[in-house]
Amino acid sequence: MPRALEIRVGAAGDALDRFEAAWNRVVDGRPMKPLRVLTLEDLPGLLKALSPARVVLVDSLRKAGPASIYELSKRLQRNYKNVHTDVTQLVVLGVIERDADGRVSVPWDLLRAELAF
């Protein structure tokens, strides 16, 4: 089963509802199903968090494997500072991971975005 990160646009209450449902499953003794969801408040927030440059960065990491920020900036032919800023934000969001050596990678086989109207 592929490791997937679901990216959703919705109110903060949606994440709280998922937390409450998970809590109730534990209290009831039912098994937990891992759910990896990143919820962003609105479409502009999604587009800022996953700008076209950041999507290219994630795709490059997924295809070519882990890299340092320096290697990644050279691979993408982008300014180091801008790549560093993008990497920092993507790590905070949980879209990419940084290892002990400072190399970054994509821990997901699949990123699935959902926008509900």
42-94: per-residue pLDDT in tens?
888 888 999 999 999 999 999 999 999 999 999 999 999 999 999 999 999 99
Q: In residues, how long is the chain?
A: 117
Q: What is the pLDDT of residue 53?
A: 97
**3-state DSSP of the chain:** CCCEEEEEECCHHHHHHHHHHHHHHHHCCCCCCCCCEEEECCHHHHHHHCCHHHHHHHHHHHHHCCECHHHHHHHHCCCHHHHHHHHHHHHHHCCCEECCCCCEECCCCEEEEEECC
For range 35-46, the mean pLDDT = 82
pLDDT of residue 23: 75
pLDDT of residue 8: 82
- Give me the domains of the chain, ranges plus CATH numbers: 4-115 (1.10.10.10)
> Residues of the chain with pLDDT > 90: what percent?
52
Cα dihedral: 30, 114, 36, 28 (round 10): -20
pLDDT in tens, 11-22: 766 767 767 777
